[in-house]
């Protein structure tokens, strides 16, 4: 399950599609542990690093988008799981 900081960071990336680390630091504040949250999300395969402009940037993955959507709508996720269980 995603915590509040992880959800907020994924939400920012889902709206921007691409963000540099300094942009994320300015959005969240330098001492807010953005790099630790990014590392955790990368280990969960929710965020990837790309270098389209020769500078390290972060993008949200399909898995990150799915996890964010499920975290925002837990009742919809439960309904889908129940439907899948009933049709199996």
Q: Check residues 44 and 21 and name the one with the higher pLDDT.
A: 44
pLDDT at 86: 55
What CA–CA distances, in Å, run from 51 to 4, 33, 59? Answer: 27, 22, 10
CATH number for the domain whose boundaries are 4-87: 1.10.10.10
- d(Cα 54, Cα 81) in Å, to the nearest integer? 42
pTM above 0.95, yes or no: no
pLDDT at 63: 94
Q: How far is CA 48 from the centre of its chain?
A: 10
List the single range of 1-5, 31-35, 44-48, 64-68 with lowest mean pLDDT.
Answer: 31-35
Q: Check residues 76 and 20 and name the one with the higher pLDDT.
A: 20
Instruction: Say whether pLDDT at 79 is over 80.
Output: no
Q: Check residues 45 and 27 and name the one with the higher pLDDT.
A: 45
Q: Where are the domains of the chain?
A: 4-87
Structure-token pair, residue 14: 């889902």
């Amino acid at each position: 399950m995603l915590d509040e900081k992880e959800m907020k960071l994924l939400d920012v990336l889902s709206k921007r599609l691409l963000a540099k680390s300094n942009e994320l630091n300015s959005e969240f504040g330098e001492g807010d542990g953005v790099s630790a949250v990014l590392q955790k999300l990368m280990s969960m395969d929710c965020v990837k690093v790309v270098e389209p402009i020769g500078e390290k940037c972060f993008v949200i993955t399909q898995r990150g988008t799915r996890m964010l959507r499920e975290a925002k709508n837990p009742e919809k996720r439960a309904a889908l799981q129940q439907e899948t269980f009933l049709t199996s």
